[in-house]
Structure 1
Amino acid sequence: MAESSTLTPTREVLGRLAAAVKVLRATKLPEAEASAQALVDLGAAGRAPKPPEKSMLDQARSSILAAAQSRAYTQVPAKYLREAPWLLWAVKQPLAGLPGLLDAVVALAMRHGSVRRKLIQAWLLGFDANAPMIEAAGHAIRRLLAETPDARLDAWRNVDRALNLFDARFGPRRVADAILTAQRSVAAILQEVGLDDPVQAGGGYARAVQGEVLMQFATTLPKAHPDEIVARCLAFLAPGGRLRFEEPGAQGAVARGLLAPWLRGGSPPSDATRAEIQAFLLRALGDPRLRPQHWREAGDEATALMRRWLARASLKLFFDLIDDYALDDHWRYREAFWAACLNKGLIEDAWLALGKRVFASARALKDLNGAYARLEGASGDQSVLLMRIGSYVFCDWSHNGKLRAWQADWKNAPHLGARSYSRDDLTGKGLPFPPNAQFGSRGAPDGDGLSHIGSKRSYWQGSAAELIARRTGVRLSPTDWMPR
């Protein structure tokens, strides 16, 4: 009896639970709370809309063009008119110039959130300050933001208030200024203005912002911390390490913009700034001495400046290599002399020819990135420095080699940029070195080269400086060329 009385309540409880389960199974429960689902829907709808398939756009275009003659856009099927924003500034046959079409699209956008978002994305993607109706569309978008209580557009409202994003004339300039100088990261700014989207990253608005970034770079750099400005600029120009726009014209504009602060003189950049920009341009466009075609769109001035920067790097590496391989203790005098020429702006280009052992050195392979030549028929430890000074080529050897010079247009003058040189290529008869009575220099009148003797007395330097002065008009003094 005791066992029976104990089990009875348990059976009753189980029975009630089974009945409850039947009720629950018969009831259709919501998959998520209404508030949570609203957030999911909001996020999905807030994503940047993408253009539809080409076939849909072709059908929409045909329907819109048919209605354009009478401006009867209300006769265009709704499914086609909703896609009209993508056609307003399309790459091929843009329709923004059709009378009344933008007004019809804006009227539709007043009623449909999806059309509002498409209009915003299409405006950013096809942006060109000179495109038909682009400015009017920007004003219309601002009106839509002000007059429609669409929470999904709050991010656009905020960024337009902060940066005038939809002002076709000043928006790109304000965004560029933020990219270069704002406290927020470049990535955060791009996310705010929608240019972090893979499609928009290469769109018209991004291109306009890049033009403004490059234009402002030269004026912004002296006013702030140069290293930070350079880093922010490069982060925008090459997201993920690749140029945002890679066609030749855009590459040339990048080179001109980054070198602009020094194209008209002014204070030279710090070594860190020069190295950062130089390394970036070498990755983006290649070495102008090896790939001149990549620099054609950059212009002569920018290319010449880059060559001078590379000449500086080549000289530095040359003397570093000499420290590793040469036994001549006079090299500090030669380094000081050519550094003086470099600082006077005389050396426009430089190229190295390296002996077998030096050619294979880790330092040469890493620092010159292939921009040097092999020296054949000479000691494996020997190297040659070729320099372009005005319309003349100078050739200096490591170890006990002589200094030689030629007019660049002479047939036996070595050309900078070759991949290999023989000893004969670099020892042909050249210009005579004149005497310099001030230092007792007798020069080298036979054209067979100037020996590096009397370095401490400026003996050979005086003769070399006299040749340079007569040929270029630039005079050097011992204050310039003696080691410090």
Structure 2
Amino acid sequence: MPLKAALEDLRTFRSFRFDAPKQLATEAAASAIRPPTESVEVRAPPDLDEIAERIRRALIAGLSPYSSDMLRAPWCVWDGVSPLADEPELLDRYLRLVEALSRKSHFRRLAGAYAVRFPEDSKTLQAVAECLARLAPKFTGAWSAAHQSFRIFDAAEAPARVASAAIVRQLSPSELLSIEGIGNLAAEAGLAEAAFAAGLRHIAAAEMQPAHRLEAVSSWCGKRKGGAPFERHRGLVADALVLPHAGNMPEKPIRDRMLAFLLGKFGDPRTRQAKWSPMNCTNVVKRWLIEQSLRQFLDVVDEIALERHWKYRRAFWTSVYDRNLISDACVIFDRAGAARARRMFDGETPYSIWSKGGSKPIERGHSCLLLRIGNGLVAEWSHNGRCNIWHDAQDPSAPELHSESYMSNDVMAPASDRRWTRRAYNHVAPDGYSWQSKVADEIFALTNTRIMQSEYTVR
């Protein structure tokens, strides 16, 4: 092969080429050296209002405030009785003075107040951010490096950039900034809170499997027990986990884990409505909980029930759920049933227990499924118990759902009277669909929706 052709052949194969490094080793080593840690003053001085008044008088007079007051002036921007943010003209004078003096101490103090407060709803945040962004290239140190890495002084972009980097490195926003040299920025600082919210929006928008999303949300919320790191963003926590899967229910095991996480953080939405008021996913979570209660009852009792009887009940109540006719549900277990539920279901799942008393003795393993259907209420007993139906949940004899405990009489419908309609059916002739057709008629009376026999036929 001619030399010219051989050289051309070598040039076309990357494995035979030598590429000069894009960054010299000395440059890489230099960039790996982190700037020294900078402390953040996390509390406003006790005499803040006096300082603010002196600064205000000086700025109005066209004078530079005392040096000691200039160091504390950043706290006067958003804090105190009369913050500078309420007087845009004075704030503008102060920011122009900070730029004109161009001192690192002023820059660092203002950057600290900016990160600690970061009031996203304030019109002045952008003005302070722009001032800091212009000053950052003039100084070395952690704040300037953080701006170069994350555009930290771009008020619109900083939360998302910090969140993205923190998620990739599996850190909280405050941990990320601490590693970058901003030492004692509190976990609850305003910028950390904004980044926390941005991270949840990122997780919500990302394409991922339910198990991975649960891991991401759980990791992002940290190890804190109960509630979210920032309570006013608890709606974002629940929505980021649930809403991406609202139209396609996750598999039962991961769904149970999701519910365990949410109930551990925020309680049961059926009994703690105020806690769940910021969530857009509440109705989805309630539907998941209804399915879980139904599954608890059916699966737990299934271990001890006669299959030739129980398969008919499973088919019937599953068909009612599939028609979306159940608006609420809960299960009552004895100790044996509760132990089975804990063994079969991942995490803590909500259920009630039997208490002593009542005319009907509670046998071992006895359970009861309470369902709100239309305006009425159903108490479906396991074993040889009956299906009890109250046509009006306001009936004084009807049980309340989600009580901590029930006596047997609480979930047994008495005979009808002139005002209240009540029914109770034995589970006779299940293979002939006798009791099922009667209960289906009652459900039709409650909902005006007919469950057809073909929907609950056992095949």
Asked if TM exceeds 0.5, the reply is yes
1:233-312 residue pairs with structure 2 within 5 A?
233-241=217-225, 243-245=227-229, 247=231, 249-261=232-244, 266-295=247-276, 297-298=277-278, 302-312=281-291
C-alpha displacement of 1:461: 2.5
Decide which moves more: 195-204 or 454-463.
195-204
**Alpha-carbon separation, structure 2, partners of 1:271 and 1:350:** 17
SS of 2:263's equivalent?
helix
What's the counterpart of residue 379 of structure 1? 362
Worse-matched range after superposition: 191-200 or 49-58: 191-200
Partner of 2:22: none
Structure 2 partner of 1:82 = 71
Q: SS at 1:330's partner residue? A: helix
Q: Could you report, residue by residue, the CA deviation over 1:272-309 in whole angstroms, capped at 9, with x for unpaired residues?
A: 553343222211111234434433x336x644433322
Q: Deviations over 1:433-484 (max 9, x none)?
A: xxxxxxxxxxxxx954222233334333233333324432444345543456
Give 1:149 deviation, angstroms.
Answer: 3.9
CA contact (8 A) 1:350 1:385 kept: yes
Shift of 1:157: 3.0
Change in Cα spacing, 1:466 to 1:403, as seen in structure 2 (3 Å) is: same
Give SS of 1:82's match.
helix
Task: Summarize the Cα distance change of 1:231–1:157 in structure 2 as closer, same or farther, 3 Å threshold.
Answer: same
On the 8 A contact 2:227/2:266 being kept in 1, the answer is no
Q: 1:384 to 1:324 in 2, by over 3 A?
A: same
**Which among 353, 363, 369 is matched to residue 342 of structure 2?**
363
Amino acid of the residue matched to residue 287 of structure 1? D
Deviations 1:386-428 (A, max 9, x none): 0112222111101111112112122222211222322222222
CA offsets per residue over residues 52-85 of structure 1, 9 Å max, x none?
663354543232233243343x1x2101211211
- Does the 8 Å CA contact 1:165/1:193 hold for their aligned counterparts? no
2:79 alignment partner AA: A
Indicate the larger mover: 201-210 or 249-258. Answer: 249-258
Q: Whose Rg is larger?
A: 1
Aligned 8 A contact 2:173 2:196 in 1 = no
Aligned to 2:330: 351
The residue number in structure 1 matching 2:14 is none
Q: 1:84 to 1:385 in 2, by over 3 A?
A: same
Q: Match of 2:195, as an amino acid? A: V
Cα deviations by residue, 1:317-367 (Å, 9 ceiling, x for unpaired): 222331345457412221232223223322221112223554576838985
Native 8 Å contact 1:85 1:105 kept in 2: no
3-state secondary structure, aligned to 1:307: helix
Question: Which of 122, 131, 147 pairs up with 1:131?
Answer: 122
Q: Residue 241 and residue 121 in structure 1: after superposition, are their counterparts in 2 closer, same or farther (change >3 A)?
A: farther
Q: Per the alignment, do residues 389 and 193 of structure 1 end up closer, same or farther by CA in structure 2, a change over 3 Å counting?
A: farther
- The aligned residue for residue 318 of structure 1 is 297
| Partner residue, 1:390 | 374
Structure 2: gaps (5+ residues): 1-31
Name the structure 1 match of 2:189: 203
What code does the residue aligned with 2:110 have?
Answer: L
Tell me the alpha carbon deviations over residues 8-30 of structure 1, each in whole angstroms, 9 at most, x when there is no partner. Answer: xxxxxxxxxxxxxxxxxxxxxxx
Please say if residues 373 and 417 of structure 1, whose CA atoms lie closer than 8 Å, have aligned partners that are also in contact: no
Q: 1:464-483 alignment to 2 at 5 Å?
A: 464-478=439-453, 480-483=455-458
Q: What's the offset of the Cα at 1:199?
A: 4.5
Alignment correspondent of 2:409: 424
Provide the C-alpha distance between the structure 2 equivalents of 1:339 and 1:322, rounded to a whole number of angstroms: 15
Aligned counterparts of 1:197 and 1:371: Cα–Cα separation in 2: 46
TM-score of the superposed pair, with normalisation by structure 2: 0.77
Distance change in 2, residues 1:211/1:356 (3 Å)? closer
**Retained in 1: the 8 A contact 2:301–2:382?**
yes
Structure 2 Cα separation of the partners of residues 141 and 251 of structure 1: 31
Partner of 2:85: 96
Distance in 1 between the 2:156 and 2:86 partners?
Answer: 19
Report the TM-score when normalising by structure 1.
Answer: 0.73
Matched positions, count: 415
> Equivalents in 1 of 2:228, 2:335: separation in Å?
40
Q: For residues 463 and 81 of structure 1, what CA distance do their matches in structure 2 show?
A: 82
CA contact (8 A) 2:270 2:286 kept: yes
| One-letter amino acid of the structure 2 residue matched with residue 202 of structure 1 | E
Question: Which segments of 5 or more consecutive residues in structure 1 lack a partner in the other structure?
Answer: 1-38, 433-445
**2:148 aligned with 1:158, yes or no?**
yes
Q: Which has the larger displacement, 394-403 or 194-203? A: 194-203
- Could you tell me how far apart the structure 2 residues matched to 1:165 and 1:238 are? 23
Greater helix share, structure number: 1
Q: What displacement does 1:189 show?
A: 6.0
Query: RMSD of the alignment, in Å?
Result: 3.6
Task: Please state how far the C-alpha of 1:50 moved relative to its aligned partner.
Answer: 1.6
With over 3 angstroms needed to count, the CA separation of the structure-2 counterparts of 1:272 and 1:178, relative to structure 1, is farther
Structure 1 range deviating more: 422-431 or 340-349: 422-431
Q: Distance in 2 between matches of 1:328 and 1:429?
A: 29
Give the deviation of 1:193 after TM superposition: 4.5
Equivalence for 1:19: none
Note if contact 2:296-2:331 (Cα within 8 Å) is conserved in structure 1: no
Q: SS of 2:84's equivalent?
A: coil
| Map of 1:34 onto structure 2 | none
